Amino acid sequence: MLKVGIIGATGYTGGELARLLCNHPNMDLEVMTSRGKAGEEVSSVHGYLEGFVDLEFQESIGPDDDLDLVFLATPHGASMEHVPKLMDMGVKVVDLSGDYRLGDAQVYSEWYGKEHTDQKNLANAAYGIPELFRDEIAGAQLVANPGCYPTASILALAPLFSGGLVSGDVIIDAKSGTSGAGASPSARTHHPVCGESVLAYNTGKHRHQPEIDITLHRLGPGGGVFFSPHLVPFVRGILVSCYLNIKEKSDQASVLNTYQEFYEGERFVKVTDEASIRDVVGSNRCQIAPVVMGPGKVAVFASIDNLVKGASGQAIQCANLMSGLPEHTGIHFPGLGV
**Closest by CA position to 157, among listed 146, 147, 165, 148:** 165
- What is the identity of the amino acid at 237? G
Q: Are 199 and 181 in contact (CB under 8 A)?
A: no
Which candidate in 22, 148, 194, 242 is catalytic?
148
Question: Is 148 known to be catalytic?
Answer: yes
Cα–Cα distance between 274 and 57 in angstroms, integer?
42
* 3-class DSSP assignment, residue 59: coil
Cα–Cα distance between 152 and 285 in angstroms, integer?
10
- DSSP label of 254: H
**Closest by CA position to 290, among listed 239, 249, 242:** 242
Strand order in the sheet with 69-72: 27-32, 2-7, 69-72, 92-95, 142-144, 126-127
**Cβ atoms < 10 Å from Cβ of 274:** 10
**Beta pairing class for 269-271 and 92-95:** unpaired
Active-site residue numbers?
148
